[in-house]
């Protein structure tokens, strides 16, 4: 089984992105081959890179990981919507407003991963998790939509989805908001993502 795991570079002025920090540390499930890919927090370019990696690697599973500041738990995403509406610029300075990810594409795609079971597997590992019904309208959602569109039209045998992770405690401390921004230690994020991958590998 070949697994492609992607994560974003730091954005919004932050020196780290917990998604990439965690993905670098992941252990592959038994009998699985793990490919890691860092992608820029840039509309369009991130989706292009991941779709190119899907064509090159032909993975059985694509799991994209991103940061969701303010969330207290690891959150598998249920749906990606055909909308880009950025509240801040991406790392290239683009800030699209009310634009489709793919003009003429369907309004939304559902993840092809079992999101409720994934959240349960992460909780069983002792890490807080919950299903999310909105990946937002920033670059994370754009990437999820692009991956699911590629699966729909070119790779019907591939499974794919997105998981958001909380901030790291060091990020909350740096902002002086330890009491208002939920966070998880990096080791906990890694443990939760590994539990998700182990579950998915067993469902092959």
Average pLDDT over every residue of 139-151: 98
At residue 181, the pLDDT reads 84
* Mean pLDDT of the residues in the chain: 95
At residue 204, the pLDDT reads 66
The answer to whether the CB of 50 falls within 8 A of the CB of 62 is: yes
Strands (E), 61-107: 61-67, 75-76, 79-81
Give the global pTM.
Answer: 0.95
Average pLDDT over every residue of 23-33: 95
Average pLDDT over every residue of 115-138: 98
CATH entry, 2-202, from 3.40.50.300, 3.40.630.20, 3.40.1520.20, 3.30.2420.10: 3.40.630.20
- Among all residues, which ones are annotated catalytic? 77, 140, 164
For residue 17, name the pLDDT band (cuts at 50, 70, 90). Answer: very high
Residue 77 clears pLDDT 80, i.e. is over it: yes
The answer to whether the CB of 2 falls within 8 A of the CB of 33 is: yes
């Amino acid at each position: 089984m070949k697994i492609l795991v992607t994560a974003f570079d730091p954005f919004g002025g932050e020196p780290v992105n917990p998604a990439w920090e965690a993905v670098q540390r992941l252990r592959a499930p038994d009998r699985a081959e793990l490919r890691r890919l860092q992608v820029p927090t840039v509309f369009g370019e991130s989706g292009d890179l991941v779709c190119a990696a899907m064509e090159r690697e032909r993975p059985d599973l694509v799991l994209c990981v991103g940061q969701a500041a303010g969330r207290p738990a690891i959150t598998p995403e249920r749906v990606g919507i055909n909308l880009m509406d950025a509240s801040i610029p991406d790392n290239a300075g683009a800030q699209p407003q009310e634009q489709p990810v793919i003009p003429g594409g369907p309004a939304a795609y559902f993840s092809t991963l079992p999101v409720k079971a994934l959240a349960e597997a992460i909780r069983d590992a002792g890490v807080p998790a919950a299903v999310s019904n909105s990946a937002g309208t920033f670059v994370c959602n754009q990437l999820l939509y692009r991956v699911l569109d590629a699966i729909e039209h070119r790779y019907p045998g591939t499974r794919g989805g997105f998981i958001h992770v909380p901030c790291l405690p060091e990020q909350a401390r740096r902002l002086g908001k330890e009491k208002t921004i939920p966070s998880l230690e990096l080791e906990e994020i890694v443990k939760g993502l590994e539990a998700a991958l182990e579950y998915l590998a067993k469902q092959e």
